[in-house]
Amino acid sequence: MKENVFILIMAVLILCAGSVAGAGFQSSSSGGSLRSTAAISVSLVNQDPDPANAGDVVEVRLGIQNIGGETVNNLVVGIEPEYPFALVSGESSIQEAGTIQGYQGYYDEANMKILKFKIRVDKDATAGSYELKVSYYQKDSQAKTVKSLAVDVKNRESAEVIHIDKSVLIPGKETDLRFVINNVGNAPLRDLSFSWVNGDKIVLPVGSDNTKYVKYLDIGKSAELKYTVIADSNADAGLYELALKLVYRDTTTGSESEIETIAGVYVGGGTDFDVAYSESSGSQMSFTIANIGSNPAYSVSVIIPQQSGWRTTGASSMIIGNLNTGDYTVASFNLQSTPAIQLTGQSSGQRDMQRNFTQGANSLNVQIAYTDTMGTRNTVEKELQLNQQVMGNSTSRMSGASQFGRRDQQSFLSKYRWYIVALVLLAGIVLVHSRHRKEKMKNPDFKMKDLLRKKYQGKRR
């Protein structure tokens, strides 16, 4: 019985030896340690990085061993990358390992032959273990052995913070400030914590603290975080820095990743004005211009634009210089209200048109041009409502020299009419007395009644 078992074992060994001799060398998968054969073993020693990041280049190091006793000459090793792997541009897919001595690396791994290959991982690859095909053969030999090695890949977890919405804050005014977090990686993000701080303490959140949380953010998705903020009303106009911080959990390793960046907000910008009618003097109308906004205004100009119902005589614009918050000044213009034209035999449509024209003249458009704290030139237009007294004064000034003379004449007559009557009576008495005296010298018997009779008879002739 023992002899039969021995014979069977010897037969198996003989068959294995014949197979190795035909192939040139034996793969390590056949097992066993044969002194008279070559047995090449190819393994993945390590990879850098480990695991590989999707979208990045990974270097794989292959260990070449000969676990047989026979030397292998002219050994060639190559890789055959398939998705999600691709050969890096400029890199060769095959390398010559040269001569591998018998038992090289078998007893001492430090003596194994190391070959390095660089491959790129597809950016859209999901996390997992992927097969990398490796082939090896002796040069000028038709026999090739192909095996698969496992390369670990993880997703790239990455987020970016985009500061959007408001980039200019008005001092003392509550403003909504929004931040957007984008997941630009290939893996979901979990347990995100976002915060910001202004070191100058000029910009502060209102109604909440400066930290907000997001539980989950999927690949390619965004999360908008809204804050209500206010800038110090006494802040100098200028650019202020916000320090942004985002912390999230790495779903692969469980560790925390952190992003720190900065964003800028400008405190300052535009302002607003109030315009009020001040007074009139002759043909001149004066207006008060006040800066009622939160920012100073530079190189302020007041302009009366062309408009129906009004016209300017002389300059239509006036430079009043700089106006700080709360400051005001006066601008004056020679303004005349265009009178409504009275039409005889007006139709109802003509009367409506004239009424609309007259009502339109009750308002005056005033433009204020200024340079804001950011150096931008702006124009604000205000509509000023004028009462009937101002309109009446303006219309009377428009009537011209003849109307002015007529008003003066009426005013003079109404004031001195009794003096004029007295002077006329006195002149008449003097004239009659002189005439009576002249006739008396010619005829001593001439009476006053004769003068009146003579005058009456003269009129009859």
What is the CATH classification number for the domain harbouring 74? 2.60.40.10
Cα 120 to chain center, whole Å? 37
Could you tell me the pLDDT band of residue 424, with boundaries at 50, 70 and 90?
A: confident
Worst-scoring range by mean pLDDT, 95-104, 312-321, 423-432? 423-432
Mean pLDDT of 174-187: 87
Provide the total of helices (H) and of strands (E) in the chain, helices listed first. Answer: 5, 27
The residue type of 113 is K
Cα 184 to chain center, whole Å? 21
The answer to the question of residue 222 being in a domain is: yes
pTM for this predicted structure = 0.51
Could you tell me the pLDDT band of residue 199, with boundaries at 50, 70 and 90?
A: very high
263 and 291 in a common domain: no
291 and 242 in a common domain: no
Percent of the chain with pLDDT over 70: 75
Strands (E), 29-106: 39-48, 52-53, 57-66, 72-80, 85-87, 94-100
Mean pLDDT of 100-108: 85
176 and 133 in a common domain: no
Asked which of 154, 178, 196 is the last residue of a domain, the reply is: 154
Rounded Cα distance between 446 and 437, Å, is 9
Cα 356 to chain center, whole Å? 43
Listing DSSP states for 217-238 in one string gives: E-TT-EEEEEEEEEE-TTPPSE
294 and 221 in a common domain: no
Instruction: For residue 101, give the 3-state DSSP assignment.
Output: coil
Inform me whether the pLDDT recorded for 425 exceeds 70: yes
Give which of 118, 120, 125 is closest to 156, Cα–Cα. 125
Q: Per-residue b/e over 292-308, b at no fewer than 16 CB within 10 Å?
A: ebbbbbeebbbbbeeee
Between 55 and 83, whose confidence is greater?
A: 83
Asked which of 120, 154, 188 is the last residue of a domain, the reply is: 154
Rounded to the nearest integer, the mean pLDDT of the chain is: 79
CB 226 within 8 A of CB 213: no
Rounded Cα distance between 426 and 110, Å, is 147
Instruction: For residue 444, give the 3-state DSSP assignment.
Output: coil
Asked which of 88, 119, 154 is the last residue of a domain, the reply is: 154
Return the pLDDT at 93.
92
141 and 29 in a common domain: yes
CB 318 within 8 A of CB 333: yes
Mean pLDDT of 410-426: 73
321 and 220 in a common domain: no
The answer to the question of residue 211 being in a domain is: yes
Between 25 and 202, whose confidence is greater?
A: 202
- pLDDT single digits (tens) 325-372: 999 999 999 988 876 444 444 555 545 544 544 444 578 999 999 999
Worst-scoring range by mean pLDDT, 41-55, 280-294, 353-367, 414-428? 353-367
Could you tell me the pLDDT band of residue 304, with boundaries at 50, 70 and 90?
A: very high
CB 43 within 8 A of CB 77: no
Inform me whether the pLDDT recorded for 454 exceeds 70: no
169 and 63 in a common domain: no
254 and 359 in a common domain: no
The answer to the question of residue 349 being in a domain is: no
Rounded Cα distance between 374 and 238, Å, is 8
Q: Which residues contact 41 (CB under 8 A, 6 or more apart)?
A: 27, 28, 63, 64, 65, 66, 67, 105
233 and 338 in a common domain: no
Mean pLDDT of 180-185: 86
Mean pLDDT of 24-31: 46
Give which of 85, 78, 87, 79 is closest to 52, Cα–Cα. 85
Residue 310 belongs to a domain with what CATH number?
Answer: 2.60.40
The answer to the question of residue 107 being in a domain is: yes
Return the pLDDT at 28.
45
The answer to the question of residue 92 being in a domain is: yes
Could you tell me the pLDDT band of residue 108, with boundaries at 50, 70 and 90?
A: confident
Mean pLDDT of 23-44: 64
Give which of 339, 239, 329, 337 is closest to 288, Cα–Cα. 329
Could you tell me the pLDDT band of residue 398, with boundaries at 50, 70 and 90?
A: very low
- pLDDT single digits (tens) 427-446: 877 777 777 777 777 777 76
Rounded Cα distance between 134 and 195, Å, is 49
Listing DSSP states for 177-218 in one string gives: EEEEEEE-SSS-EEEEEEEEE-TTSSEEESSS-SEEEEEEE-
Radius of gyration of the chain (CA): 53
Return the pLDDT at 282.
76
423 and 369 in a common domain: no
Q: Which residues contact 3 (CB under 8 A, 6 or more apart)?
A: none
Q: Per-residue b/e over 399-422, b at no fewer than 16 CB within 10 Å?
A: eeeeeeeeeeeeeeeeeeeeeeee
373 and 280 in a common domain: yes
The residue type of 207 is G
250 and 173 in a common domain: yes
- pLDDT single digits (tens) 218-271: 888 999 999 999 999 888 888 999 999 999 886 666 678 888 999 889 999 889
Return the pLDDT at 27.
45
Range of the domain at 142: 24-154
Number of domains in the chain: 4
The answer to the question of residue 234 being in a domain is: yes
CB 246 within 8 A of CB 217: no
CB 385 within 8 A of CB 363: yes
Mean pLDDT of 290-301: 93
The answer to the question of residue 432 being in a domain is: yes
Rounded Cα distance between 197 and 205, Å, is 9
The answer to the question of residue 321 being in a domain is: yes
Return the pLDDT at 360.
46
Mean pLDDT of 413-440: 76
